[in-house]
Chain A
Amino acid sequence: MIAAVPQGRRPRRLTIGRIGVYAFLISAALFFLLPLWIMVVTSLKPMEEIRLGNILALPAELTFGAWSKAWSSACTGLECNGISVGFWNSVRILIPSVILSIAAGAINGYALSLWRVRGANLMFGVLLLGAFIPYQVFLYPLVRIFSTTGIYNSLLCIVIVHVIFGLPTMTLLFRNYYAGLPIELFKAARIDGGGFWTIFFRVMLPMSTPMIVVATILQVTGIWNDFIFGLTFAGRENLPMTVQLNNIVHSTQGERAYNVDMAATMLAALVPLVVYFVSGRWFVRGIAAGAVKG
């Protein structure tokens, strides 16, 4: 047998095409990084320096005053407790919403893909259809339903809304994942005597780590960035960070405190940013795994 030896000229490392590709990539990266740069440097400048107008310049005098003000004492209307209130509200909304929506999606996907419930495909179709109808259509009917049942403007209310609206995506994700597993695994578990819940908790859920990670990323970023549901359903006590941020930016009297606004915005964006940086690789892998089989 002859070993395969590469034939021909060794490819040049740097060709004109490559230079072009890199030039494009670098300029695209700079373009998208520019706003972030402006936000970071502005948030670190005192107001005197901002008034000079060099928005791209590094701060001459480094100060973190704007950050601490944004966190703890910026005014969100009548109250001046900073965006920290909104941060903790968001956390309180986020944790139950993420856990419940993933749990519901996983169970739904499991039932639809493996137990072949009568009319499973129809149910799934209807569920997906729900995902394509604009949210705004649901707002008023939901407000009416919730006020009739007496839970309007509460933490419970906003959590229910997030779980409901997360259901189509979560179900799709888990249904496709479970449909991609060998069906024989499920058959073996049934012969071994597992029931609906035993098979789910003992066999399927331990295999679902990649999908749970993906679902967590999608739900954490989605729910954290939500504005309209929070504004509509959470009630004054529970307004999430996004709504508080809007209040800070728009309720300032007189001169706009650009540095505080920028710092508050950065704080509000921190959670999704961290999620993406920490889990980027997982995210791509999970999306790819979920997308292969329909």
Chain B
Amino acid sequence: MSAVSVRDLTVAFEAVRVFNGLSLDFEEGEFIVLLGPSGCGKSTLLNAIAGLLDISEGQVWIGGQNVTWEEPKDRGIAMVFQSYALYPRMSVRENMSFGLRMAKTPKHEIERRVSQAADLLQITHLLDRRPDQLSGGQRQRVAIGRALVRDAAVFLFDEPLSNLDAQLRNELRIEIKRLHARLGKTTMIYVTHDQIEAMTLADRIVVMKEQKIQQVGTPSDIYHRPANMFVAGFVGSPQMNFIEGRIENTGSGPIFVSGQRRLPLHGYEFTGNPSSGQEVVLGVRPEHLEIVEVGAWPGFKVDLIEPMGADTVIWCRDGDGSLQVRTNGSARISTGERLSLGIDAAQVSLFDLRSGQRL
């Protein structure tokens, strides 16, 4: 039994229909990240699960029950929003206990849960303050605390860290991960456009684009075996390099050919049988390009160098193509230099030029 299950979902706004029968299952205790650019429908999907918008077709099941027509409060969910959404005229304590008071929970129980959650999030000293007396990070802690006291089986996060500065974002991200580990059986569904958050937090990532699911998989799957060119280009920074070319079948197996350059593809796991002459795009991550003394791919001219501390990103040009190479931060390379690059065929991705799907 899935903790949350979305079946054949369609949401109709005034003029547009989105999703058109989208289905997705979330396992109990899983941390799922919905990742995609803005407008891809990830927040709409989250709102549909929360019951904050009316769905026109399909069903939403939570904890083995059909909650399609249940009110948000009856779905056993808690939600954390990007803008914190704290009630401005209530103290932190009142904010956190609002839902429990609405549900007529006994006073001592409210007291117990609020202090427990406050303790966990280290906001006990803030309980009597108003939201406008808190910093952004503190506000989001309170918002998480408010979700926590609801004792929900499913947590929904709608870009919770997007309003925070970089350092706080890292801190809270780690805290959310710890929280998930501590709560154990709580399912978390987390919407973000930040791939770092997605990679670091998720058990599974759902990559979305234009209201369609592009790929569902573990962070490692998504990163190393992207299902199509969109996923490959969206995840990873610096971006994956794309090189157009074609497949040629030879006696010793298929090889990738782009102009003068060739790459034997042994070690690459094809999902089907590539046909000879098929036009493809080779995708290779910057860290999978190696600077070598003598290699199959010589003659790249260094165009630009971006030192990033631990790593250095080198932009190389070859004719009209450009490649980014990620190399050790201590490498001594200067612009104008010519490099030879080595590629491990087991680490690349091949996509069909027309459909963009992985081969």
Instruction: Indicate whether A and B interact.
Output: yes
Q: Which residues of A contact B (CB under 8 A)?
A: 182, 184-185, 187-194, 198, 202-203, 206-207
Structural contact, B87 and A187, CB atoms closer than 8 A: no
Structural contact, A191 and B78, CB atoms closer than 8 A: yes
Structural contact, B85 and A182, CB atoms closer than 8 A: yes
Q: Which of B95-103, B268-276, B320-328, B351-359 contacts A (4 or more CB under 8 A)?
A: B95-103
B41-73 with Cβ < 8 A to chain A: 47, 50, 52, 71-73
Q: How far is the CB of B275 from chain A (nearest CB, A)?
A: 51
Structural contact, B85 and A188, CB atoms closer than 8 A: yes
With contact pairs A189-B87, A191-B99, A192-B98 given, residues A184 and B72 touching in the complex (Cβ less than 8 Å): no
> Across the interface, which residues of A come within 8 angstroms of B223, CB to CB?
none
Q: Decide yes or no whether B347 CB sits under 8 A from chain A.
A: no
Closest to A188 in B: B85
B79-105 with Cβ < 8 A to chain A: 79, 81-89, 98-99, 102-103
With contact pairs A206-B89, A207-B89 given, residues A187 and B52 touching in the complex (Cβ less than 8 Å): yes
Q: How far is the CB of B74 from chain A (nearest CB, A)?
A: 8
A-B contact pairs, 12 of them (CB 8 A): A184-B83, A185-B85, A185-B87, A187-B85, A188-B79, A189-B87, A190-B71, A191-B50, A191-B72, A193-B71, A194-B102, A202-B87
Q: How far is the CA of A207 from the CA of B132 in the complex (A)?
A: 13
> Across the interface, which residues of A come within 8 angstroms of B99, CB to CB?
191-193
> Across the interface, which residues of A come within 8 angstroms of B85, CB to CB?
182, 184-185, 187-188
Q: Decide yes or no whether B235 CB sits under 8 A from chain A.
A: no
With contact pairs A187-B50, A187-B81, A188-B81 given, residues A193 and B102 touching in the complex (Cβ less than 8 Å): yes
Q: How far is the CB of B13 from chain A (nearest CB, A)?
A: 11
Q: How far is the CB of B316 from chain A (nearest CB, A)?
A: 36
Closest to A185 in B: B85
> Across the interface, which residues of A come within 8 angstroms of B86, CB to CB?
188
Q: How far is the CB of B156 from chain A (nearest CB, A)?
A: 9
Q: How far is the CB of A193 from chain B (nearest CB, A)?
A: 4
Q: Decide yes or no whether B205 CB sits under 8 A from chain A.
A: no
Q: How far is the CA of A218 from the CA of B79 in the complex (A)?
A: 39
Q: Decide yes or no whether B11 CB sits under 8 A from chain A.
A: no
Q: How far is the CB of A185 from chain B (nearest CB, A)?
A: 5
Q: How far is the CA of A188 from the CA of B146 in the complex (A)?
A: 10
Structural contact, A182 and B79, CB atoms closer than 8 A: no
> Across the interface, which residues of A come within 8 angstroms of B71, CB to CB?
190, 193
> Across the interface, which residues of A come within 8 angstroms of B82, CB to CB?
184
Structural contact, A193 and B88, CB atoms closer than 8 A: no
> Across the interface, which residues of B come within 8 angstroms of A194, CB to CB?
98, 102
Question: Considering only CB atoms and an 8 Å cut-off, how many residues of chain B contact the other chain?
Answer: 25
Q: Can you add 20 more A-B contacts, CB < 8 Å, to A187-B79, A194-B98?
A: A182-B83, A184-B81, A185-B83, A187-B47, A187-B50, A187-B72, A187-B81, A188-B79, A188-B86, A188-B146, A189-B98, A190-B52, A191-B99, A192-B98, A193-B99, A193-B103, A194-B102, A202-B98, A206-B89, A207-B88
Structural contact, A191 and B87, CB atoms closer than 8 A: no
Q: How far is the CB of A39 from chain B (nearest CB, A)?
A: 44
Q: How far is the CA of A199 from the CA of B83 in the complex (A)?
A: 18
Q: Decide yes or no whether B229 CB sits under 8 A from chain A.
A: no
> Across the interface, which residues of B come within 8 angstroms of A191, CB to CB?
50, 52, 72-73, 77-79, 99
Q: How far is the CB of A53 from chain B (nearest CB, A)?
A: 60
- Residue in A185, A190, A198, A207 whose CB lies within 8 Å of B72: A190
Structural contact, B73 and A198, CB atoms closer than 8 A: no
Q: How far is the CB of B342 from chain A (nearest CB, A)?
A: 45
> Across the interface, which residues of A come within 8 angstroms of B98, CB to CB?
189, 192, 194, 202
Structural contact, A193 and B73, CB atoms closer than 8 A: yes
> Across the interface, which residues of B come within 8 angstroms of A182, CB to CB?
83, 85
Closest to A121 in B: B14
Contact with A along B99-131 (1 / 0, CB 8 A): 100110000000000000000000000000000
Closest to B89 in A: A206
> Across the interface, which residues of B come within 8 angstroms of A206, CB to CB?
88-89
Q: How far is the CA of A188 from the CA of B98 in the complex (A)?
A: 10
Q: How far is the CA of A187 from the CA of B85 in the complex (A)?
A: 8
Q: How far is the CB of B223 from chain A (nearest CB, A)?
A: 31
Most buried by A among B78, B86, B89, B158: B89
Closest to A206 in B: B89
> Across the interface, which residues of B come within 8 angstroms of A207, CB to CB?
88-89
Structural contact, B73 and A190, CB atoms closer than 8 A: yes
Q: How far is the CA of A190 from the CA of B73 in the complex (A)?
A: 7
Q: How far is the CB of B4 from chain A (nearest CB, A)?
A: 15
> Across the interface, which residues of A come within 8 angstroms of B77, CB to CB?
191
> Across the interface, which residues of A come within 8 angstroms of B102, CB to CB?
192-194, 198
Q: How far is the CA of A192 from the CA of B50 in the complex (A)?
A: 11
Q: How far is the CA of A193 from the CA of B50 in the complex (A)?
A: 12
Q: How far is the CA of A65 from the CA of B50 in the complex (A)?
A: 71
Q: How far is the CA of A198 from the CA of B101 in the complex (A)?
A: 11
Q: How far is the CB of A188 from chain B (nearest CB, A)?
A: 4
Q: How far is the CA of A192 from the CA of B87 in the complex (A)?
A: 11
Q: How far is the CA of A206 from the CA of B89 in the complex (A)?
A: 6
Q: How far is the CB of B114 from chain A (nearest CB, A)?
A: 13
> Across the interface, which residues of A come within 8 angstroms of B84, CB to CB?
184
Most buried by B among A185, A193, A198: A193
Closest to B77 in A: A191
